[in-house]
């Protein structure tokens, strides 16, 4: 899994029936983690950790540190049943935070703290990306800007086209989606909730499906014999 500031996070497994798992530091390592904090009780999925927090503190509004329309739809479906009103940061006049870090966890925390500091509200942020084994885990944290950093457009289509070019002729198509969620109750929260999950699959030779966004049309799930873009939203939320 991804690294954290000053410590290590144990890799979290994702059970297709439970959704995003939470990642924890090893026992006794909380002091070493610094900003990453502790995510909750070992073995619980992220939404259960979130539900426990909500039942104790009942935040009514949480700013969502994202302007990605696809993520806004998915998060609203995931967290709405928990009684959380997610307010997109753009509605509150919050600009996008810088994402200068080399790990998903650090970037997610940076975005959450930025949105919370600007609004005074609890904030939820994610950092996610595609890690391809044959490309030494690229595009990784640069997934959204993959083609742009190579001199192309910043778009899903350009990113997918570049990925296919980079993998042309390669037999190893193994890949994984990595998603990290960070929730802070206030800008300087010393114990943010951290959730980390992975979805494993392979990269296709050509896009399939019209759903989802990002690299979904190229991400093949062998066990389901479909691409992520061929799943309905409920199926996608259940496994990822």
| Catalytic residue set | 127
Could you identify the residue written with the tokens 């994202």? 66
State both tokens at 47. Answer: 């939404």
Q: Is the dihedral of CA 34, 125, 143, 132 positive or negative?
A: positive
Residues in Cβ contact with 91 at an 8 Å cutoff, skipping those fewer than 6 apart: none
Could you identify the residue written with the tokens 């509150």? 92
Distance CA 176, CA 97 (A): 25
Instruction: Spell out where 78-236 has E strands.
Output: 85-88, 123-132, 138-139, 174-184, 193-203, 219-221, 226-227
Residues in Cβ contact with 114 at an 8 Å cutoff, skipping those fewer than 6 apart: 65, 94, 97, 123
Backbone angles phi, psi at 198, to 5 degrees: -135, 145
Among 1, 2, 4, CA closest to 31: 4
């Amino acid at each position: 899994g991804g690294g954290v500031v000053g410590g290590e996070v144990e890799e979290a497994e994702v059970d297709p029936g439970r959704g995003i798992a939470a990642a924890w530091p090893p026992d006794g390592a909380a002091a070493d983690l610094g900003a990453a904090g502790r995510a909750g009780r070992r073995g619980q999925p992220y939404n259960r950790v979130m539900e426990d927090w909500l039942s104790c503190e009942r935040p009514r509004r949480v700013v969502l540190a994202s302007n990605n329309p696809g993520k806004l739809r998915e998060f609203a479906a995931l967290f709405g049943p928990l009684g959380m009103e997610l307010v997109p940061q753009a509605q509150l006049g919050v600009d996008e935070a810088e994402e200068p870090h080399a790990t998903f966890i650090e970037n997610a925390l940076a975005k959450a703290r930025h949105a919370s500091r600007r609004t005074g509200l609890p904030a939820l942020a994610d950092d996610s990306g595609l890690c391809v084994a044959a490309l030494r885990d690229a595009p990784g944290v640069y997934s959204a800007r993959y083609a742009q950093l190579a001199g192309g457009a910043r778009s899903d289509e350009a990113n997918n086209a570049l990925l296919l070019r980079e993998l042309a002729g390669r037999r190893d198509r193994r890949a994984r989606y990595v998603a990290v969620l960070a929730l802070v109750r206030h800008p300087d929260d010393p114990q943010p909730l951290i959730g980390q999950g992975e979805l494993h699959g392979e990269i296709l030779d050509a896009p399939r499906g019209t759903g989802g966004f990002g690299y979904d049309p190229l991400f093949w799930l062998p066990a389901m014999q479909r691409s992520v873009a061929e799943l309905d939203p409920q199926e996608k939320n259940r496994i990822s």
